[in-house]
Amino acid sequence: MKRILPIAIILLVVLFPGCVQEKKLPAIKVVFMHYNIKGTHVLKIKKVEPAFITKEEAPTLHPWYDTPFPSIILFAYDWRGGKLQFVTPSTCLPINTEGDNITAYIGFENPKLVPKNGDGILVIVQVSDERGRVLASDEAMFVWNVTR
């Protein structure tokens, strides 16, 4: 009996891998366009929405005091209790990232900071030079509503 239980567990894991779901992390999906046209950066957010991503898809998070410049920087605020609260560290992309449909994710470093259903979320995307000066910026709001 002592040998059968471990063998049964191994067989379940091997035979039914689809039954074990990978834990998904909450994030904010941002789709935007960015071009550098003769030194002028053009930036426009196209879509923002809640998302659930795998650990492998999770972005590198940078605290505000350790943001790499130059870069495209994405972060979010949560409209909670009548005031804006900073809820995410920065996600950064290389400044030379260009295209019509760039997709990036903004993650949460603390589960307590994940928005609650109905919270308004302000997403900001900005292009900053090597000194941290903002060269282009756009923002978008959406309501965090997820069902799992």
Q: In order of start, what are the domains of the chain with their CATH numbers?
A: 22-143 (2.60.40)
pLDDT grade for 126, boundaries at 50, 70 and 90? very high
127 Cβ contact partners less than 8 Å away, ≥ 6 residues apart? 34, 41, 43, 70, 71, 72, 73, 95, 134, 135, 136, 137
pLDDT confidence tier of residue 10, bands split at 50, 70 and 90: very low
For position 99, what pLDDT does the model report? 98
Cα–Cα distance between 59 and 89 in angstroms, integer? 10
Report pLDDT for 148. 64
- pLDDT confidence bin for 7, thresholds 50/70/90: very low
The encoded tokens of residue 9 equal 């567990």
Rounded to 5°, angle at Cα 145 from 143 and 109:
85
